[in-house]
Chains A and B, each alone.
Chain A
Amino acid sequence: GDSVTQMEGPVTLSEEAFLTINCTYTATGYPSLFWYVQYPGEGLQLLLKATKADDKGSNKGFEATYRKETTSFHLEKGSVQVSDSAVYFCALLKTSYDKVIFGPGTSLSVIP
């Protein structure tokens, strides 16, 4: 079945460090891909998305490129801040009447 795999956490970085969180997926067809972020004690917020191969999603300094050849959607940010500390979920969605399939989440802690 369809699935999402992402790197195990927790990840701890110093402020202004470079961030990469790896995500790969398995799915038939051409899913849309997403990164959601969950801050402590809150719900999920959409961070960015890409709907077709080679699309780049970006928001708040975060970027991810839809790579169909490697079935990947890695999240990157050039300089993290303490306020980026959260859990990041990679996810896929195939159709509008489908369920979102989430990865297990990667916890990020950024220390000053």
Chain B
Amino acid sequence: DAGVTQSPTHLIKTRGQQVTLRCSPKSGHDTVSWYQQALGQGPQFIFQYYEEEERQRGNFPDRFSGHQFPNYSSELNVNALLLGDSALYLCASSLQASQKGTDTQYFGPGTRLTVL
């Protein structure tokens, strides 16, 4: 059973450029959440996608946008990159369920983005 996969592993961009990161959820999962983890800090929630719609959003500007496809995979897009966008971007997948305890989020290995 494949876990959460993300691509690419590493990425180097310059200020002002745009970037797209990709995520495939764990088999059987239908919900994808994205997090940004700056060096030495805990992950911060960017947004969550379910049924191809953004359902909840953290405190991130509109430069951060996303998409979920019918096969539940997801993309994170960041426009007009800033130096401060350099971070590890983590994707997490989960299953929508009303039953408590089945909503655990499983994380991928992350994409390390460096903005120069």
Contact in complex: A95, B103 (CB < 8 Å) = yes
Q: B residues within 8 A CB of A32? A: 100-101, 103-104
**Chain A CB within 8 A of B33 CB:** yes
Q: Is the CB of B90 within 8 A of A44?
A: yes
Q: Is the interface of A mostly helix, strand, loop or mixed?
A: loop
Chain B residues engaging chain A, CB cutoff 8 angstroms: 6, 31, 33, 35, 40-43, 45, 48, 50, 55-56, 58, 88, 90, 92, 94-98, 100-110
Evaluate contact between A96 and B95: CB separation under 8 angstroms.
yes
Within 8 A of B (CB), among A81-105: 89, 93, 95-105
Is the Cβ of B48 less than 8 Å from the Cβ of A97?
yes
Q: A15-23, A45-53, A68-76: which lies at the B interface? A: A45-53
Question: Contact partner of B92 among A89, A95, A96, A100, CB < 8 A?
Answer: A100
In the assembled complex, A61 has its CB within 8 A of some CB on chain B: no
Which residue of B has the minimal Cβ distance to A30?
Answer: B100
- Given A32-B101, A51-B100, A93-B105, are A102 and B55 also a contact pair (CB < 8 Å)? no
